[in-house]
Chains A and B, each alone.
Chain A
Amino acid sequence: NAGVTQTPKFRVLKTGQSMTLLCAQDMNHEYMYWYRQDPGMGLRLIHYSVGEGTTAKGEVPDGYNVSRLKKQNFLLGLESAAPSQTSVYFCASSYVTGGVEETQYFGPGTRLLVL
């Protein structure tokens, strides 16, 4: 049981380049999330998904797109990277059951540097 995994671990992009970050979970969780973490800003929600084929905007969605074609995968895309998108990106997943506590399990993070 690998939990939540993220690919790649680290990437350097030039301004204007595009890339996709992959998040995979093997816990059969319905909900998945993408966060970015910047110094002094805490964790901020970019996009999330409450199930296969569904996505929704979080707090800071501009410049990012997501897709959830399969339940276990949640992709975060940057179409035209900007230096302001230099950050550490965390993926998380969670389960929800009525009356039972739920939490979010985090992946190890992807460090992205945009030059």
Chain B
Amino acid sequence: AQTVTQSQPEMSVQEAETVTLSCTYDTSESDYYLFWYKQPPSRQMILVIRQEAYKQQNATENRFSVNFQKAAKSFSLKISDSQLGDAAMYFCAYSSQGGSEKLVFGKGTKLTVNP
């Protein structure tokens, strides 16, 4: 069974600075998808960024980018120019090929942004 590990229960960053959230996963599959979801205090789960394992290029979405290291089974999230609105729980998630399978989530990292 696949597992997702987020080793940082909490992180903090100064506004306008850059922070990196770590995620590692364990799988025997060669094709899969990885996601980062954000959960602000409002509780809504919001997709931040996604990566297809077959793509070597790291995904980017504005200030959010990932460092996908397939051999190391690592999928870290970098947030540049952090904003107060980035404060939230961040969840790394894994999905088998086909996408419409269950998401396996890590335990989350609580990000605090200090003004």
A and B found bound together: no
